[in-house]
Structure 1
C-alpha cells in the first residue's frame, strides 16, 4: 500500500477480474515457495517509523506534504492525515550490528524532519498517540492528499461507527471515516523469513508480541483522556469500522488473529483471498503473471495490494525484489519515545522470536490465552499479568515485568544465534533491562506527568518533546515534582545531592543523559558487581557494567540454561528453560491456573478485548495505582504494616517480605528461619546488601533481586 492509486472508481467487472487474479496468484505463490533460491538470501531487518508533526506546544501541524518536499528524502512518505508522516528505514543485515544501524538512521531522519519542519513551526513527535488531538482533527478534511486513502475510506464505507476505550477515564466518539486512525502512530518492524520457517516464526511472533508490548507501551493519553497503556491498539482496530459485535473476530480486517498457523504463508494468503472482499480492486496492466525480470519472481501485484488492506498485527509480506522473499511485518509496537527505546524494543522482540522459532515447532499456549495476553498487555502495560506456557503443566499467569526479565537471556540467545555482535546485544537489551527494573515505560511516564501537570495536554507534550530530543531512553527521564499529602516527592528524576549511592559519590547538581543522575547502579563489593543492573552512557543508552564473567553463550537449537556475559539476570523470579516456566514459591496466586483451552475469547466475552474496554482487572495493579487513587489503603501504614504486600523467595532460601510505603518507597524485610536478619528500604533510590556471599538489590520500583 506504499504506492499511490491511479484509479478511484471501480466497476463490477474490475472487481471480478481482480478476484480471478487473486485466485491465480495463489497457484503462482505455491510454485514460488518451492522454487530454488526463493527467500534464501541473508536475513534482514527493516522498520517504518510513524510520527506526528506538531508545534512546540503539541498543536498538530497539517503540513506533511510541504515538509516531505522540503526534506527531499525519498524515505519519507505521507501517512493518513496531514499531520502524519512516515519514515521507511533502509533494511539492514541481521548481523552483526543491525540495531545500531536502525538507531542511527532513525535519528538522522528525525533530524531531517525537524530541519524541514522548522519553516512551518513543526517538529516530529514520536508516540503511539498525540494527547492534544481532538475529534475535529480526525475528519476527512485532514486527510493527506494521496488518492489511496480516499479510495480506502470510500471502500470501508461512510456509515457512522462508534469508537470507545475505557480505562482510568472513558472516551467515546462517533466517526464516519477511517481518518480516526490518524490518531495512532507505530514502529513497524520487517523481519525476513525463509518459506520453510514461516509457520514457526509467525507463531513465535504471535506469542512474544504480548510481553514486549507490555514493557514497550507508550499510548496512555487518548484525545486527552487517560485510558489503556496502549490505547492505540483498540482505537486503531475500531477506526476501520469492523468491530461491531455482529462482525466475528475472524472476519475483521484488523486484529490479532484467531488461531495458530499450521500451513505457512500459503494458509494466510488463502484465508485473505477467501474471507475478505477486495477493497481496492486495481488490476495491474500488461502480463501480470510474468516475472519482473528474466528468471525473477512474478510481481503478484494484486495479491500484495490485497494483503496490504488487511491490518493484522503480525502481517505477511511478499516482496519480488531480487530473487524474492517473505517478511513478517510486526506492527503492534508504538512509535517512540526515542530511537533508543524503539530499537531496544526491536532487539527484544526479534531475539525472542528467533529463539522461540528455533526451539518450538508450534504454540504450547492455547491461542485463546495468547489472544487474551495481547489485549491485556495493551490495557495494563507493565502491570499486566500474562498467561505463559509451563511445559507439560497447565499454563501459569505471571507479572509482565517478571516475565520479561526472565526472557531477556532467551532474547540474547536468539540474537547471538543469528550472528548479532555481543556488545550490540548487551547495549540494546540493557535498555530494556533498565526500563523493566525501574518500571518506567513511556506509558508510565506520560500518565504520571499528565497527572502531575493537572491533566494539561500541551504541557505534557512540551515536556515530552524536550526530553525525547535528548535521545535518552524513557527510563532515565525525570518527571515533574508532585506533592503527595503535603510532602514533595520526586517522580523519577530528582538529582540527589551529595549522597552516596552504591559506593560512588554523586556530585552536587551533576546530571546525566535526559536530566537524571548518571547512576552508579552496581555495588562494588569484593571486587565484583551484582548482576541485573545498568548504567547510562552519554546518549542515555543502557549497558551492563563489569558483570561477573559468565560461561560463553552456546547458541544451539536445544534449550539449555543460557548465561550471557552482561546479561546475568539474577533478579528474575521465573526461569525459562526449554520452553518451560518454573515459578518461585508463591509467585502464582490462587486462582491463576489456566482456564480450559475452549474458553471464549470473543471481544464481548473478555475484558481484555478492544470491544469490551473494561478497566484494568483488580489482579493487575497499575504502577500508578497510588497516584490514581485506586489503591490507597496501604499509604501511610509505613514499615510496621501488619502484613507485607508480597513475599518473594531469594536464592539462599530466605524470603523477602516487601511492603510499599509510598511513592518509590519500599521496605523489604529479609527473613531466614522465621527471624528478620536484615531490612532494606528505598526512598527514591535503589538500595542493596552484601551478606554471607549473597547480593540483594531492592529497586525504587519495589523489585527485589538476589544472586550468589
Structure 2
C-alpha cells in the first residue's frame, strides 16, 4: 500500500499546508505536460502480486515478519495484515519473450520463497480472498507493524466518524461492522502496470475502463468471505466498503468513495489528478521538503511527492501513477481489477489478455468508449464482479451478451492483434491467450472451481462450513503449486 512514513500525528495546519503543496504539485504537473516531458521512448510493463500466508490447516498465518526475514528478497514486501505479503516484479519492455521471462522469473521466485516460508511454517498462496479468513482475524492487532498502515487506519476511521459497515448480497448475504480497516486485508490482487506517454494516457485509460467488466468476469477468484458465498469477485465490493471514509449521510448525498470507478471518459490525465485534489481530502498529509516549481525552474525533474502520496490513498480501479526513473518523469496506468491467482500461468494469461486488449482498443479509429456509455461500463464492471464468468454484459453492436461469449468471439481476437502490436512472441501469445480461451469454453475460472469444490465437500458431508473451506483451500494450494491452469484442476 505504498511507501512508509514516519510516526506522527497530523494537525489542521498540516492539512492546510499539504493542500497548498498539492496545488503546487499540480501546477508543476501541468507545466511538465505543456512542455512535453512525458514522451515515452521505451514503454515498460510490470506487475505486483499480493499473497496470503496459511498454516497447515489452511487458516491465516500471522507471520509475515518471520517469512520475509526468511525469504530475504527485497522484491517481497509487507502488506496490510500480518498474513499478507507482496511481490514487485521488475518491469520489462513488452516485446519478444518478455511474457515468458516474467513467468519464469515469477515461478522461480515463488518456488524459492515458498520453500523458505515452509521452513518457517506457513505456505504462500495466491488467491483473491483467502476462503478461511474469519471475523476473528479482523482486529487492529492483525495489522502489519508498519507506520503507514497504522496511520491509514486511524485516519480513515477518524474521517468516517463511525465503524465500517460491510454489507454484501450474492449467493448468500453478509452484514457486519468493523472498528478498523483490517477487512481490506482480505483483498489480495494482481496489479498490472503499463507505461504510456502523456498523450496516449487517456485512450489507454478509457480502454482499460471499457474492458473492466469482462476482465473481472473472466478472471474472478474471490467467491467466499467470512464463510459466506457472495459475489464471484467479492473482493471488489469488500475493498470499496472496507476503506470507505464516508458516513451514511455523506454516502446518501452522493459524495464520491475513495475506491472509485470514476465518473466519465477521460480527455487528459491531468483531469484525474485534478479530480483527486477536488473531491478527496488528504488522508496522510505528510510534507516533503522539495518545492516542485523551483526544481522545474532549475531544469530538474520534481518528485511531486504530495501528488503521489495523495493519489496513493485514492483507489481508482485504473489509477494514474507519476514516477521518476533515471531522472526522467513517466506515467503509468495501474490496473487494480484482477484478483491474485490462481496460478502463475493464470496470472500471466490474465496479464496477456489485458495488455493485448488495451493496446488494440487504444488504436481504434472509432473507440469502443464512443459507443459505450460510461454508466454501462461501470454496470458491466459490477455485473462481472457479481456473476463472474456467467455474467451478462452490454457491448456495442451486440447488446446484452454473456461474458464468455463476448470474450471468445470479440475480445480475444482483439487481444491477439494487440499482442502482435506489442511485438510479443507468437508462441507465448498463443499459449497464454489459449488459457483464457479454455477458461471461457469450460466455464471454469478460480471462483467457479472454489465454489464447486466447496459444495462437493460441504453439501451433505457433515463437515462444518469452515472445515469444508479449509479442505478446499488445502486442495487449492496443492494445485497452485503445480502451475497448471485452473480450468484443468479436478473437482474431486
Residues in 1 aligned to 2:307 and 2:288: alpha-carbon distance in whole angstroms: 11
Residues in 2 aligned to 1:294 and 1:115: alpha-carbon distance in whole angstroms: 50
**CA shift at 1:389, angstroms?**
1.1
The reply to whether residue 476 of structure 1 matches residue 488 of structure 2 is yes
Residues in 2 aligned to 1:101 and 1:249: alpha-carbon distance in whole angstroms: 45
Contact 2:197–2:331 (CA under 8 A) maintained in structure 1: yes
The reply to whether residue 381 of structure 1 matches residue 388 of structure 2 is yes
| Local SS of the residue matching 1:196 | coil
**CA shift at 1:168, angstroms?**
1.5
Over residues 25-45 of structure 1, what are the superposed CA-to-partner deviations in whole Å (9 max), with x where a residue is unaligned? 111111212334523231111
Greater mean deviation of Cα atoms: 333-342 or 223-232: 223-232
Contact 1:249–1:255 (CA under 8 A) maintained in structure 2: no
Residues in 1 aligned to 2:260 and 2:97: alpha-carbon distance in whole angstroms: 32
Residues in 1 aligned to 2:54 and 2:131: alpha-carbon distance in whole angstroms: 11
Contact 2:219–2:339 (CA under 8 A) maintained in structure 1: yes
1:461–1:249 CA distance, 2 compared to 1 (3 A) = farther
Residues in 1 aligned to 2:51 and 2:257: alpha-carbon distance in whole angstroms: 26
The reply to whether residue 202 of structure 1 matches residue 182 of structure 2 is no
Contact 1:217–1:442 (CA under 8 A) maintained in structure 2: yes
Contact 2:244–2:259 (CA under 8 A) maintained in structure 1: no
Q: What is the RMSD computed on CA atoms of the aligned residues?
A: 1.7
Match of 1:464 among 476, 480, 483: 476
What residue number does 1:55 align with? 55
Residues in 2 aligned to 1:228 and 1:271: alpha-carbon distance in whole angstroms: 30
TM-score, normalised relative to structure 2: 0.93
1:286–1:214 CA distance, 2 compared to 1 (3 A) = closer
Residues in 1 aligned to 2:147 and 2:264: alpha-carbon distance in whole angstroms: 35
Contact 2:217–2:403 (CA under 8 A) maintained in structure 1: yes
**CA shift at 1:369, angstroms?**
0.9
Match of 1:344 among 346, 349, 352: 349
The reply to whether residue 331 of structure 1 matches residue 336 of structure 2 is yes
Residues in 1 aligned to 2:293 and 2:3: alpha-carbon distance in whole angstroms: 19
Residues in 2 aligned to 1:291 and 1:128: alpha-carbon distance in whole angstroms: 42
1:288–1:69 CA distance, 2 compared to 1 (3 A) = farther
**CA shift at 1:12, angstroms?**
1.7
Greater mean deviation of Cα atoms: 103-112 or 8-17: 103-112
| Local SS of the residue matching 1:38 | coil
**CA shift at 1:302, angstroms?**
0.4
Match of 2:361 among 340, 356, 360: 356
Contact 1:296–1:324 (CA under 8 A) maintained in structure 2: no
Residues in 1 aligned to 2:479 and 2:400: alpha-carbon distance in whole angstroms: 35
Residues in 1 aligned to 2:284 and 2:112: alpha-carbon distance in whole angstroms: 33
1:396–1:57 CA distance, 2 compared to 1 (3 A) = same
Residue ranges of structure 2 left out of the alignment (5+ in a row): 459-464
**CA shift at 1:223, angstroms?**
1.6
1:39–1:78 CA distance, 2 compared to 1 (3 A) = farther
What residue number does 2:26 align with? 26
Residues in 2 aligned to 1:416 and 1:280: alpha-carbon distance in whole angstroms: 42
Contact 1:383–1:400 (CA under 8 A) maintained in structure 2: yes
What residue number does 1:365 align with? 372
Residues in 2 aligned to 1:310 and 1:467: alpha-carbon distance in whole angstroms: 35
1:438–1:277 CA distance, 2 compared to 1 (3 A) = same
What residue number does 2:403 align with? 400
1:292–1:114 CA distance, 2 compared to 1 (3 A) = farther
- Taking the TM superposition and a 5 Å limit, the aligned residue runs for 1:93-104 are 93-104=93-104
What residue number does 1:237 align with? 240
| Local SS of the residue matching 1:202 | helix
Judging by fraction of residues, say which structure has more helix: 2
**CA shift at 1:14, angstroms?**
1.3
Over residues 354-413 of structure 1, what are the superposed CA-to-partner deviations in whole Å (9 max), with x where a residue is unaligned? 1111104543211111110000000001110001012xxxx6110101000011111011
**CA shift at 1:287, angstroms?**
4.2
What residue number does 1:122 align with? 122
- Taking the TM superposition and a 5 Å limit, the aligned residue runs for 1:429-444 are 429-444=433-448
TM-score, normalised relative to structure 1: 0.65
Kindly indicate whether structure 1 or structure 2 has the higher relative contact order, using CA contacts under 8 Å at least 6 residues apart: 2
What residue number does 1:519 align with? none
| Local SS of the residue matching 1:397 | strand
Residues in 2 aligned to 1:197 and 1:59: alpha-carbon distance in whole angstroms: 44
- Taking the TM superposition and a 5 Å limit, the aligned residue runs for 1:558-707 are none
Residues in 1 aligned to 2:272 and 2:26: alpha-carbon distance in whole angstroms: 11
| Local SS of the residue matching 2:211 | helix
Residues in 2 aligned to 1:464 and 1:300: alpha-carbon distance in whole angstroms: 43
The reply to whether residue 269 of structure 1 matches residue 273 of structure 2 is yes
What residue number does 1:415 align with? 419
Residues in 1 aligned to 2:297 and 2:61: alpha-carbon distance in whole angstroms: 43
Residues in 2 aligned to 1:37 and 1:241: alpha-carbon distance in whole angstroms: 35
Contact 2:222–2:339 (CA under 8 A) maintained in structure 1: yes
**CA shift at 1:242, angstroms?**
4.0
What residue number does 1:673 align with? none
| Local SS of the residue matching 1:398 | strand
Residues in 1 aligned to 2:99 and 2:290: alpha-carbon distance in whole angstroms: 40
What residue number does 1:541 align with? none
Count how many residue pairs are aligned between Structure 1 and Structure 2: 475
Residues in 2 aligned to 1:388 and 1:296: alpha-carbon distance in whole angstroms: 45
Residue ranges of structure 1 left out of the alignment (5+ in a row): 481-708
| Local SS of the residue matching 1:332 | strand
Greater mean deviation of Cα atoms: 287-296 or 230-239: 287-296
Contact 1:162–1:173 (CA under 8 A) maintained in structure 2: yes
1:11–1:387 CA distance, 2 compared to 1 (3 A) = same
1:416–1:432 CA distance, 2 compared to 1 (3 A) = same
- Taking the TM superposition and a 5 Å limit, the aligned residue runs for 1:293-304 are 295-304=299-308
What residue number does 2:428 align with? 424
What residue number does 2:261 align with? 256
Contact 1:77–1:86 (CA under 8 A) maintained in structure 2: yes
Residues in 2 aligned to 1:113 and 1:461: alpha-carbon distance in whole angstroms: 19
Match of 2:319 among 298, 308, 315: 315
1:260–1:342 CA distance, 2 compared to 1 (3 A) = same
**CA shift at 1:241, angstroms?**
2.8
| Local SS of the residue matching 2:393 | strand
Residues in 1 aligned to 2:10 and 2:316: alpha-carbon distance in whole angstroms: 25
Greater mean deviation of Cα atoms: 377-386 or 243-252: 243-252
1:331–1:245 CA distance, 2 compared to 1 (3 A) = farther
